[in-house]
Amino acid sequence: MDIESRIRSRIESILVNDERNHAELKAMACQDEPFDDDPFEEERNLYQRIINSYRSAVNEVNGLLEENVGFLSGFYRIIEGIKSRRDFQEICSVIVDCVLSDFGAEYCSIILYESRPSGQARFCLEGVQEDRKFVYCHSSESLLGNADFEAEVAKLVADSPRILNIPDVYREPRFNTIDFPGVVRSLTSLPITGNGAVLGALLLSHSLPRYFNDNHIRVLRILAGMIAHLRMLAFNPGEAPAAPPPGDPAVMQEDVVSVVVLQFEAADTGTRAAAFGPEFLGAARSGLAAGTGPGESLLVYDEESLLLLLPGTGAEALPARVRHLREIYQAWRAGQSVGFQSIRMNVGYSTCDKGEGLSKTLEIAALAMRPDLDD
């Protein structure tokens, strides 16, 4: 029912109720002695109820207008952010960042279940918005560090390739065995389809139940279609523009530090880098040093990852820097022994603006990339 029909229905209901009440009062007056009454009280009440009905409808329309303007602003940010990018991971990073900022989601992921044309592993990019945003790109078969969650989502997409809006995951029996983090309560899954096939899924969640409404779904359906189209256009790394060199003054910002966590695991078994001994991290650190500039630090972190600190690198320049690190790692890995050639690199990154400390960012990174640390 549209807004006009709802207003008409409300007013008709008010008039019918008022006529019924007036008839009852006349019947009572015929049976009993007349009683003192304000001759215009009924009219005033009737007009006030009609005014309140209009006011409620106008507020509802204004709320929808404000929400839609916010969605349009989000789409504008996405278009502006991706129009000069040709690398698919960079594009997805911009999309996830805008979804978290403008569409109200607290978690967003883009998953491609098919293999990439280059033969690389499955693609997954996740973003979490709590105290700040953190983006994690990997090929592990898990979501939010939970393999059961990823398996259930994959089953949902395979069994029912349509939009699924789950108001409350805790009321769904299929999720009874999954220990969700705080950002997952409402859950929406939209298939990413191309050439008649399901390529992957766009997944959003929020910590409140029944958060995503029909208006969200209409907008997200457009976004999922746009991702499918961009995926077909952007899978040619050779055409991607060069990333700005480390320390480029044109992209440097004051009082900003970006954090990149590089996590390594065997592509076939998922074994973490710690199993390969400290010599692997040392060699990978030396190979990746070519992607750092003056004032930037590449450190061993938690004995099986590398931590890259990028002072002056803001959120807009960060996806291109991450792509550059991936390219350096792939070139370095190609020249290593057979054992090291099977180790893939997952990347998580975030930006600390003015007044924000590193400790919270690293805490969020640990929850997203190493949930087993809580066990």
Determine the Cα–Cα distance for residues 144 and 368; give it in Å rounded to an integer: 6
Q: % helix / strand / coil in the chain, to the nearest 5?
A: 50, 25, 30
**Which of 210, 158, 154, 133 lies closest to 364 in space, CA to CA?**
133
Question: So what's the pLDDT on residue 286?
Answer: 92
User: How wide is the angle at C-alpha 177 spanned by C-alphas 172 and 178, nearest 5°?
Assistant: 85
b/e per residue 267-292 (b: at least 16 CB within 10 A):
eeeeebbeebeeebbeebbebbeebb
Question: So what's the pLDDT on residue 300?
Answer: 87
Contacts of 115 (CB under 8 A, 6+ apart): 121, 122
Question: So what's the pLDDT on residue 116?
Answer: 45
Tell the burial category of 49 from Cβ atoms under 10 Å away from its Cβ (0-12, 13-18, 19+): middle
Question: So what's the pLDDT on residue 27?
Answer: 66
Determine the Cα–Cα distance for residues 175 and 149; give it in Å rounded to an integer: 8
The neighbouring-strand residues paired with 313 are 252
Determine the Cα–Cα distance for residues 306 and 262; give it in Å rounded to an integer: 5
Query: Along the 375 residues of the chain, how does pLDDT read in single tens digits?
Result: 566 666 667 666 766 776 677 666 666 656 555 555 555 566 667 667 777 777 777 777 777 777 777 788 888 888 888 888 878 888 999 999 999 988 889 999 999 876 444 445 678 999 999 878 899 988 888 888 888 888 888 888 877 778 889 999 999 888 888 888 889 999 999 988 887 788 889 999 999 999 998 888 888 888 998 898 888 776 554 455 556 666 666 667 777 889 999 988 887 666 776 667 778 888 899 999 988 888 899 998 887 889 999 988 888 888 888 988 988 999 999 888 877 888 889 899 998 877 677 788 888 887 777 666 554
Determine the Cα–Cα distance for residues 343 and 271; give it in Å rounded to an integer: 9
- pTM here is 0.70
pLDDT per position as a tens digit, 159-199: 777 888 999 999 988 888 888 888 999 999 998 888 778 88
